[in-house]
Amino acid sequence: MTGANKGAVLEWLSALSEARYDDAWALMDPAAEYWVLRRRVAIPMVEFADLYVGHMKKTFVDGLRFTPTTLTAEDDRVAVLADSDGELVSGGRYDNSYHFLFQLRDGLITKVWEYGDTYQSWKAFGGNSE
């Protein structure tokens, strides 16, 4: 099961990186939640999907690409270290490093915890509350 879970997570990151958002959301349980460090709240997946796509379209020239560097799987969880890179509409580049923790059930992602470098976000977005 851990191999299949790793595969689902890698496909999810690939789909986001290639702006195949419908493919990414199809890998998620409809009741999934996405937890973001800077807000410290769990966001229902439906809400997160809308926020994410809107943010990508207005913030990045060609989306944000994720490069996973390390994956570890145990039971129903997959931990991922990843780097991101994207060209900002406002000029310059955005690069960040993340730790994601995914929980899966029956091949679908049920929970995501995102831990990114909040300083890099602050620098790129000028302290914007997004």
108-116 and 28-36 beta bridge pairing: parallel
- Rounded to the nearest integer, the mean pLDDT of the chain is 90
Given the candidates 3.30.1360.120, 1.10.10.10, 1.10.3470.10, 3.10.450.50, the CATH classification of the domain at 2-119 is: 3.10.450.50
This prediction has a pTM of: 0.88
SS3 call for 126: coil
Half-sphere exposure of 111 (CA within 13 A, CB side): 9
By DSSP bridging, strand 108-116 and strand 65-74 are unpaired
Q: What share of the chain has pLDDT > 90, as a percent?
A: 73
pLDDT in tens, 33-90: 999 877 778 899 889 999 999 999 999 999 999 999 999 999 999 999 999 999 999 8
The predicted pLDDT at position 130 comes to 44
Q: So what's the pLDDT on residue 17?
A: 96
Angstrom distance (rounded) from CA 49 to CA 29: 12
